Every structure is written in C-alpha cells, then in structure tokens.
Amino acid sequence: MAKIKVAIIGSGNIGTDLMIKIMRQSSVLEMAAMVGVDPQSEGLARARRLGVFATDEGLEGLRRAPIYGEIGLVFDATSARAHMHHAKILDADNKIAIDLTPAAIGPYVVPAVNLDLHPGARNLNMVTCGGQATIPIVAAVAAVAPVRYGEIVASIASKSAGPGTRANIDEFTETTARAIERVGGAALGKALIILNPAEPPVMMRDTVYCLADTDDDAAVRASIERMVATVQSYVPGYRLKQDVQFERIRHNDPVRLPGQESPSTGLKVSVFLEVEGAAHYLPAYAGNLDIMTSAARAAAERIVSLDQGRA
C-alpha cells in the first residue's frame, strides 16, 4: 500500500507524540512536515533531527514550502480558535484535515464507533481526550438499549494538561457533551474534566455513567467488554479499572435528569476506565494525550485505506 504524506500543525506535546507514532508505527502515513510558531520549539527541533521538514512560520510557512503540494492530509494539534482559521485554508487547498482540537467544524469521529460513517469528509473532528476514552462506552450501552442519559468525568494529571488543553476547557465540556449524544447515542449528555495535581502524577481515569432502558445487565456488560477490546486495538493502554457496576433505578426511587421534568427509571451503568500512555514521547501517565494521538493516527490510516480501496 502506497504511503500518503502528512503534516502536523502544532509542535507541542501532542503534535510531537503524533509525529513519533507515525514514524514508528504507520505503514501508510509518511511524516513530511512539522509546523509551529515558536523558533525554540523542542518539537520542531526534534523533527529536524529526524529529517522531517519543519517551519516556525505557521501554516503559511508550510504553504510556501515545495513539500506542501505533496501533502494530502494535515493534522491540526493547535487550539480550537486556531483551527477555525486553518480549516478554511486547508479546505481551499484541497487537504484532508484531522482536527485534534475541540473546534468541531467537521463531524465528530471516534474510530471505534463511527469512522466509516463519514466517507469523503474533508475535516474530521477527534472530539476530545475524554470523548475518545468514554464515548465508546456510551455507544456500547446504546448498542443494546436506549440510553436516556450519559455523563462522563475525565480526570487527568495536571502535568499532562498543557496551555492548549487549559485554554480549551470550555470547548472540552461542550464538545464532549454533544458528542456523547451524536456519536454515543445518549438522549442527553454531560461532560466534566478534572485536572489532578497529585504528585507523582496519576494515570488518566475516566468514569462513565449511563441510564439505560433495560434490565439485561449481561448484554450491557458483554457489549462494553467488546468495545474495550476494539479500542485496545489502537490504544493498548486502555482498560477497565474494575468490573462494570449496575444499579436498578425503580419507580419507588426514581432519579431526576437535568432538563427533564419527569423522574426517570432504568438501569444505571457505571464504568471505570484507566488509560495508560504508550510513552513514545510523553510520560505513561499522559494517557489523555496518547489516546488523542492514537485515535488520530487510526482515523488517518482508515481514511487512506478507504480512499485506496475506492481507487
């Protein structure tokens, strides 16, 4: 299979980790360019040491470079605001964009759930780290029963939250909540993020709560376990921290969901996850960043395989 040349905009931790993943692991993606705006960026310096074209003049610097014409796909690992600007340019230049920010210009994509539903899309949004970790679980529950409500709590090490993550917290909660509904299949979604300052830094932990219209906890458990195995195919450090927990909410003790007047009953499903990073570039505790770069690489490789299959 022929390789497609790719560029990464954003030479910070996420962009650098993604570059290393592509160079070490991908048989269909060729790392062609790294783009930043800081001349002292360690990511740009590392790219140059690895023989990758690098520019500190942003997207315009890349567009002026001869290599730009050979690039078919661009990853954006900057910020939601920056991607709003980049997306228009990349679309006009006929480049596929994979967005690792919460800008949500293109359709939400979680590789384990819905990647093949957007053939031909020119801009794919990878939701958020919390979304990549938890939406597969909501979708697994929704695959066997209607989900009235899905709530996720993503807890990450404070040290793994760089300036971009901190600047995008509002977008994180909004984008993740909407993706819980649109991709996960919940009627109503809510998302929270916690930056844990513990020392030594802790692994990424995610909690998923669903209220489902079913009494078949065995079917829910089996669906979740299958989904965990699917995510592990591209994020090996993704795992259940303990067995799936169930609680039956009955008519004599219903719960009230946000924005709903009538009380609800059903099966409360509680899932506790841990995401350990592969430590290609980032520490193992930075699973929140690793799951984003792993999901982005998986999405890009699938796009390439689908395009070449249609050729």
Closest CA to 300 of 11, 92, 13, 32: 32
Sequence-distant (≥ 6) Cβ neighbours of residue 46 within 8 angstroms: 16, 19
3-state class (DSSP) for residue 294: helix
Tokens 């899905």 label which residue?
Answer: 150
**Which residue among the candidates 18, 129, 289, 304 is catalytic per the annotation?**
129
Alpha helix (H) ranges present in the chain?
13-25, 42-49, 58-63, 80-92, 129-142, 163-167, 169-182, 217-232, 287-310
User: Could you give the CA distance from residue 3 to residue 182 in angstroms, rounded to a whole number?
Assistant: 32
User: Could you give the CA distance from residue 133 to residue 204 in angstroms, rounded to a whole number?
Assistant: 10
Give yes or no: 129 in active site.
yes
Question: Would you please indicate which residues are annotated as catalytic (active-site) residues?
Answer: 129
